[in-house]
Amino acid sequence: MIKQQKVLQNKQLLLRNIQQLAESLDECESYVNDVIAGKQAKNSQIASSINTCLSKFSGDDMAILEQIVSKNFEDAMLSHNLIKLQMAQIGLTERINNMFSQSLNQFILS
In this structure, the answer to whether residues 39 and 89 fall within a common structural domain is: no
**Mean pLDDT for the chain overall:** 82
* Rounded Cα distance, 110 and 97, in Å: 20
- In the prediction, which pLDDT does 9 show? 67
* Rounded Cα distance, 101 and 106, in Å: 9
- In the prediction, which pLDDT does 5 show? 57
In this structure, the answer to whether residues 51 and 64 fall within a common structural domain is: no
Look at the chain and report how many structural domains it folds into.
2
In this structure, the answer to whether residues 64 and 48 fall within a common structural domain is: no
Stated pTM of the model: 0.41
Q: For CA atoms 17, 21, 26, 30, give the dihedral sign.
A: positive
- Consecutive H or E run containing 57: none
In this structure, the answer to whether residues 5 and 24 fall within a common structural domain is: yes
- 5-42 pLDDT, tens digit per residue, is 555 567 777 778 788 888 888 888 888 888 889 888 88
- 68-99 pLDDT, tens digit per residue, is 878 888 888 888 889 999 999 999 999 999 99
- In the prediction, which pLDDT does 93 show? 93
Give the domain range for residue 82.
58-110
In this structure, the answer to whether residues 41 and 4 fall within a common structural domain is: yes
